Structure 1
């Protein structure tokens, strides 16, 4: 599952996620287009927000 898929499954807009993370929407959009740029801390926050494991959205796990 990719980051964008996790966000959509959780029914969040990019703007909503950005607001919850305290960043701009373009900064969050960059995370979706370049997941390698996401920090460990942000990865953990995103996984918790979306109700998935970090591995599910950042390491290509297909368990979902």
Structure 2
């Protein structure tokens, strides 16, 4: 089996049978994994434990502090 080359990029059009099935299954599995991670991030991300801060930052420590007006 030789290494794929750029000049053979149109090779997909000639795929048939098992090879084409493998290509499509890899694409579908990748999309399904992405959907699962997206749904999991929406379910398990809790924004209810945030702390509200009403103070505005006027001086940035550790740098040339320029008051913000």
TM-score by length of 2: 0.28
Q: If each structure's helix is expressed as a fraction of its own residues, which one has the higher value?
A: 1
